[in-house]
A and B are shown apart, each in its own frame.
Chain A
Amino acid sequence: MSPNRGVVLNRRLIDYFDEAHYIPSLKSTTKDAVLDEMLQPLLRSGRIRDREIIMDMLVRREQLGSTAIGKGVAIPHGRSVAVPEMQVVLGRSEVGVDFDAPDGKPATLCFLIVAPPQDKQNHYLLLLGTIVRLVKDKKSRDRLHKAASFDEIRMLIQEVEPSG
């Protein structure tokens, strides 16, 4: 990484990935239960307080249209006044979760992104775009699915993070 990332990003996207917010093996198998399970690390680490409001927002976002983009990946996301700062939770599922994906494939990799409504640096869309780009690339996606550890996943994200 270049030490000079310009003035736009004073926080790198990779900094939003925290091992405490990584679930290597999701227990839930339904969409709503997975959303709930993925909020738990944020509640435990005190990053969010009001589970219900955020959960409602995520469920409603799924009603707007599935956040599964196919090939085994889902990116549930949304903004809520109950989220103090943007948070990312990464979860993996061995059996897969039915996320109403366009290709019908169950999600084995879930990136949950929640953000506050105000986001002057537009990190939310940048991060969303970065993850979408990462998982749409077959090579990266295969590496993500096969990654044995959180560090491996983190490194991959670092590789595709837009610089400057």
Chain B
Amino acid sequence: MDKTELLARIQDLDLMIHEVTDPASKGQEEGLGFAVIGLERLKEARRKLEEQVDRRSLSLYERVRSKYGRAVVPFQGKLCLGCFMTVPTSTLSRRKEGDELLLCENCGRILYWL
């Protein structure tokens, strides 16, 4: 699992946790008839994922997340789906050089190759 995949998983978890704790969406799942009983298990899963990410990447994730709500965004057809700007080919080619996070040069979001 590379860093982007780890952060993508953390974000999926954060969204799930947010949906059942945020006042605006809380109760939606229960309202539809689904049981919501394992919030602590999700938080524990997040802690375990966090441990696998280096501190620098994690703090970047948190920083971008607090700015935009979501830190990891897909890019598709060379477009960052966070800001809809084209990601330069030079940025894309850097992806091949190992496990570095790919950031949108325009908005700074972490790019996930969809």
Interface residues of A (CB under 8 A from B): 49-50, 52-53, 56-57, 60-61, 63-67, 69, 75, 78-82, 84, 102, 116-118, 125, 128-129, 132, 136
Closest to A69 in B: B33
Q: Is B98 an interface residue (CB 8 A)?
A: no
**A132 touching B76 by the CB < 8 A rule?**
no
Say whether B35 contacts A56, CB under 8 Å.
no
Q: Which of A53, A82, A102, A118 contacts B35 (CB 8 A)?
A: A102
Q: Which residue of B lies closest to A125 (CB)?
A: B28
In the complex, the answer to whether B41 meets A136 with C-beta atoms within 8 Å is no
- Kindly identify which residue among B8, B15, B37, B73 contacts A65, using a CB–CB cutoff of 8 Å: B37
Task: Name the contact of B74 in the complex, choosing from A78, A81, A125, A129 (C-beta under 8 A).
Answer: A81
Q: Which residues of B contact A60 (CB under 8 A)?
A: 12-13, 16, 42, 45
Query: A125 vs B19: C-alpha distance in the bound complex, in angstroms?
Result: 12
Complex Cα gap A136–B34 (Å) = 12
Are the CB atoms of B13 and A53 closer together than 8 Å? no
- 8 closest A-B pairs by beta carbon, nearest first, are A65-B35, A57-B12, A64-B38, A63-B41, A69-B33, A65-B37, A80-B12, A63-B38
The answer, among B5, B39, B81, for a CB contact under 8 Å with A64, is B39
Measured CA separation A129–B31 after assembly (Å): 9
Once A57-B12, A80-B12, A81-B8 are accepted as A-B contacts, the answer to whether A132 and B33 lie under 8 Å apart by CB is yes
Q: Which of A49, A50, A132 meets B32, CB within 8 Å?
A: A132
Query: What are 5 of the A-B contact pairs (CB < 8 Å)?
Result: A57-B13, A60-B16, A63-B41, A64-B36, A82-B8
Pair B32/A128 contact, Cβ less than 8 Å: yes
Contact A64 B37, beta carbon cutoff 8 Å: yes
Determine whether the beta carbon of B70 is less than 8 Å from that of A117.
Answer: yes
Q: Residues of A contacting B73 with CB < 8 Å? A: 81
4 A-B pairs besides A57-B12, A60-B12 with CB distance below 8 A are A50-B5, A64-B38, A116-B74, A129-B32
Interface pair A53/B8, CB less than 8 Å apart: yes
Check if A82 sits within 8 Å of B16, measured CB to CB.
Answer: no
Q: Can you list, as one digit per residue, whether each of B62-76 has a CB less than 8 Å from chain A (1) or not (0)?
A: 000000001011101
Instruction: Check A84/B45 contact, CB under 8 A, given A53-B9, A57-B16.
Output: no
For residue B15, which residues in chain A have a CB less than 8 angstroms away from its CB? 79, 117
Report the separation of the CA atoms of residues A61 and B35 in the bound assembly, to the nearest whole angstrom: 10
**Is the Cβ of A64 less than 8 Å from the Cβ of B12?**
no
Q: Does B114 contact A (CB under 8 A)?
A: yes
A104 to chain B minimum Cβ distance, whole angstroms, is 13
Rounded to whole Å, the gap between the CB of A35 and the closest CB of chain B is 14
- Whether B34 pairs with A81 at a CB distance below 8 angstroms is no
